C-alpha cells in the first residue's frame, strides 16, 4: 500500500512538473502569439482587403464594340443614379437590316439608331431583365422614312412595331407583367408615335393602342393637349451628327457677318400637291416679306455651304415645317447662331438643362411681319447676354446623341428624365397605399 501511494505521489509530481514546463513554454511564446494575432486582424480588416468579407461587384462583359475609356469616365460620373435599362435582343429585321440604307444612321430621325448603340455600352445596362427599371425595344421605324420621290413613307411602322411587341411578349414575361408600362420606344418622326408627316392624318390614326401605356422618346411636343402626345413621353432633340462642332471655329471666335439666315423649303406657290399648306404658310410669308432684304440671307434650297453660312450668322430662323420642331434648332445652337423659333405652342427638349428662353428667341407665327424690328431690338439690348449663354459648351453637349454615351449628352439626359419618371411613379404608388 505504501509503495502504491508513493508511486501515485511520484506520478502526480511528474505530471505537475510537465504542466509547469508547458506553462513556461506558453509564457515564452505568448508575446509572439499576441503579435501574430494582431497582425492577422489588421491584415484582414484593412480596406484594401475588404473583398474577403464582401461579395465581389462583378460587372457584365461589355459588347465587343464598346469603348472602355468612355465607360470608365461614365462610371465616375453621377450615372450611378441613373436607371437600369434592359435592351431587348431582337432579330435583325427590326433594326440592323435597315442600316443597309446609309442615311438611316445619319439623317434627322437617326436618334433611334444612336440611342440603341449608346445603351448597348451603357454601364447601367441590365444583363438580368429581372433587375431592370425599364426595357428598351430597339425598332428602327424611321430609317426608310421616304420614297425615292421624297414623299413620306411610314406605312411599315405600325406592323413592324406590333410584330416586335408580339416577339418580346412571347419570349419573356416582362411586357405582359406591366402591359408595356416600363417599355421604351423611340418615335423620332414628325408626329411621334402617330407615324405620319401630315398632322390631320396623324391625328386620325393616333398612337397605336398597344403603345399607349408605354414610354415614347419623341421629337414632337406642343403645349396644348394633342392626340400624338397622349402616351407618357420624353421630348428629345432631332439627330444632328456631333462632329458638326469640329467643322467650324468655336462659336465665340466666329465672324458673324450675316444678320439673319435661313435655307430650306419656302414655297412661292404655297399650296402643294397634297392640298396642304407647308409650314402653315409661315415660310412663304417670310420669303414674301424678306427675300429682297439684304440683311436677310434666304435661300429656298439647302446647299453645301448651309452650315458655313449658319456659322457666320447672328440669327438663324427655325420656322415650323410639317411639324413644329426642326433640326435647325440643334444646328443653330451647335454653331452659336441664336435660334429664332417660329412655331406656336412648341415644347422643346430638356428645358431644365438648356433653359431655352436664355439661348433663343420665340416669335409668334402671326408676327413674322415684325420680324426685322424684333431682331433689331434684341441686337440693341440683350444680344450679348443671349450669345454668352448660347456659347456654353454644356448646353451644346445636351443636344447631341453620341454613340458612346457621356455625361451631359442627349442620351444621358434621356436617362435622367426616365429616372425622374421612375421616382414619380414610385411616389404615386406609395401615396396610394
255-280 residue pLDDT tens: 999 999 999 988 877 666 667 788 99
Q: Which residues partner with 186 through β-bridges? A: 217
| Of 81-85, 143-147, 294-298, 390-394, minimum mean pLDDT range | 143-147
pLDDT interval class at 140 (50, 70, 90) = very high
Task: Please determine, for residue 55, whether its predicted confidence score (pLDDT) is greater than 80.
Answer: no
Task: Please determine, for residue 66, whether its predicted confidence score (pLDDT) is greater than 80.
Answer: no
pLDDT interval class at 325 (50, 70, 90) = very high
Higher pLDDT, 369 or 39: 369
Note the pLDDT of residue 40. 46
pLDDT interval class at 76 (50, 70, 90) = very low
Q: Strand order in 85-87's β-sheet?
A: 85-87, 134-136, 183-187, 215-218, 232-235
Note the pLDDT of residue 20. 46
> φ and ψ at 15, to 5 degrees?
-65, -45
Tell me the average pLDDT of the chain. Answer: 83
Instruction: Give mean pLDDT, residues 280-303.
Output: 93
* 38-47, 104-113, 189-198, 343-352, range with greatest mean pLDDT: 343-352
Q: Which residues partner with 263 through β-bridges? A: 299
Note the pLDDT of residue 352. 94
Instruction: Give mean pLDDT, residues 333-342.
Output: 97
Note the pLDDT of residue 272. 66
Query: How far apart are the C-alpha atoms of 240 and 335, rounded to whole Å?
Result: 12
CATH superfamily of this structure's domain 242-397: Glycogen Phosphorylase B; (3.40.50.2000)
**Rounded to an integer, what is the distance from CA 48 to the centroid of its chain?**
36
Counting residues of the chain whose pLDDT is more than 70, the rounded percentage is: 78
Task: Please determine, for residue 171, whether its predicted confidence score (pLDDT) is greater than 90.
Answer: yes
Query: How far apart are the C-alpha atoms of 102 and 140, rounded to whole Å?
Result: 13
Q: Residue 250, Cβ neighbours under 10 Å: how many?
A: 10
Note the pLDDT of residue 45. 36
Query: How far apart are the C-alpha atoms of 354 and 328, rounded to whole Å?
Result: 16
Note the pLDDT of residue 36. 53
Amino acid at each position: 500500500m505504501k509503495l502504491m501511494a508513493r508511486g501515485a505521489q511520484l506520478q502526480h509530481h511528474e505530471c505537475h512538473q510537465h504542466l509547469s514546463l508547458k506553462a513556461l513554454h506558453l509564457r515564452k511564446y505568448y508575446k509572439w502569439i499576441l503579435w501574430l494575432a494582431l497582425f492577422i486582424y489588421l491584415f484582414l480588416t484593412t480596406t484594401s482587403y475588404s473583398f474577403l468579407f464582401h461579395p465581389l461587384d462583378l460587372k457584365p462583359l461589355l459588347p465587343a464594340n464598346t469603348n472602355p475609356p468612355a465607360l470608365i469616365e461614365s462610371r465616375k460620373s453621377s450615372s450611378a443614379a441613373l436607371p437600369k435599362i434592359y435592351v431587348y435582343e431582337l432579330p435583325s429585321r427590326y433594326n440592323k437590316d435597315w442600316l443597309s440604307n446609309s442615311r438611316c444612321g445619319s439623317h434627322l430621325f437617326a436618334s433611334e439608331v444612336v440611342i440603341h448603340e449608346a445603351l448597348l455600352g451603357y454601364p447601367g445596362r441590365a444583363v438580368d431583365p429581372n433587375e431592370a427599371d425599364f426595357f428598351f425595344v430597339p425598332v428602327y421605324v424611321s430609317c426608310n422614312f421616304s420614297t425615292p420621290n421624297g414623299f413620306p413613307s411610314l406605312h411599315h411602322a405600325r406592323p413592324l412595331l406590333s410584330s416586335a411587341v408580339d416577339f418580346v411578349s412571347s419570349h419573356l414575361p416582362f411586357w405582359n407583367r406591366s402591359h408595356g408600362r416600363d417599355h421604351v420606344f423611340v418615335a423620332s418622326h414628325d408626329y411621334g408615335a402617330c407615324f405620319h408627316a401630315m398632322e390631320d392624318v396623324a391625328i386620325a390614326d393616333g398612337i397605336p393602342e398597344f403603345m399607349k401605356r408605354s414610354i415614347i422618346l419623341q421629337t414632337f411636343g406642343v403645349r396644348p393637349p394633342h392626340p400624338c402626345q397622349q402616351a407618357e413621353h420624353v421630348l428629345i432633340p432631332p439627330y444632328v451628327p456631333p462632329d458638326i462642332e469640329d467643322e467650324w471655329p468655336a462659336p465665340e471666335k466666329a465672324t458673324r457677318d450675316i444678320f439673319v439666315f435661313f435655307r430650306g423649303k419656302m414655297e412661292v406657290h404655297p399650296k402643294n400637291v397634297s392640298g396642304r399648306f407647308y409650314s402653315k404658310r409661315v415660310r412663304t410669308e417670310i420669303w414674301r416679306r424678306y427675300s429682297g432684304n439684304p440683311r436677310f440671307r434666304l435661300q429656298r434650297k439647302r446647299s453645301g455651304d448651309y452650315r458655313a453660312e449658319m456659322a457666320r450668322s447672328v440669327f438663324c430662323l427655325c420656322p415650323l415645317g410639317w411639324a413644329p420642331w426642326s433640326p435647325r434648332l440643334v444646328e443653330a445652337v451647335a454653331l452659336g447662331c441664336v435660334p429664332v423659333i417660329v412655331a406656336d405652342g412648341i415644347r422643346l427638349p430638356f428645358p431644365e438643362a438648356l433653359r431655352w428662353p436664355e439661348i433663343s428667341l420665340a416669335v409668334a407665327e402671326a408676327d413674322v411681319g415684325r420680324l426685322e424690328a424684333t431682331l433689331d431690338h434684341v441686337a440693341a439690348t440683350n444680344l450679348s447676354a443671349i450669345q454668352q449663354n448660347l456659347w456654353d459648351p454644356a448646353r451644346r453637349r445636351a443636344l447631341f446623341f453620341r454613340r458612346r454615351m457621356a455625361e451631359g449628352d442627349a442620351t444621358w439626359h434621356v436617362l435622367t428624365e426616365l429616372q425622374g419618371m421612375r421616382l414619380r411613379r414610385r411616389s404615386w404608388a406609395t401615396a396610394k397605399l
